[in-house]
Amino acid sequence: MQQIIHISTDRHNALYDITEQVKTVVSKSGVKNGIVNVYAQGATAAIMIQENWDESVQNDVITLLKKLIPAGVWEHDRQDNNGDAHLKAGIVGASETIPIINGELGLSTWQNIFFCEFDGPRSIRKVAVTVIDMNR
């Protein structure tokens, strides 16, 4: 089963929790034991599994990436001034794969799935959620 989820972003760089949307897709699939792949469709976005206790870790991720990959110093900036967004997305990665165990996401207590926006705000971003049944 595959479904595209849509989100809108309101900041230039931010992490957005999409765990509940992914849980809904997994639930609809009826898969009890398998995997779910979550893939950001966009060259300036990524997917990350991270803690969601409060926003401090999410803010720290953005701060770290801004320090490691500053804006305005990349060759690609001559095209559309978002070289840093492409590099951040490449380092974090476009997807994550999570086990489905007894019909539930195999995340630990503190893990959530985040869409990483590095070139926002955007009115629409697409995330492909693909569920694979291991019993087939």
pTM over 0.75: yes
Map tokens 């991720």 to a residue. Answer: 61
pLDDT digits (tens), the chain, 136 positions: 999 999 999 999 999 999 999 999 999 999 999 999 999 999 999 999 999 999 999 999 999 999 999 999 999 989 999 999 999 999 999 999 999 999 999 999 999 999 999 999 999 999 999 999 998 7
| Edge-to-edge strand list for the sheet holding 33-41 | 2-9, 122-133, 33-41, 95-101, 104-105
Which domain range does residue 115 map to? 2-133
CATH number of the domain residue 45 falls in = 2.60.120.460
Number of domains in the chain: 1
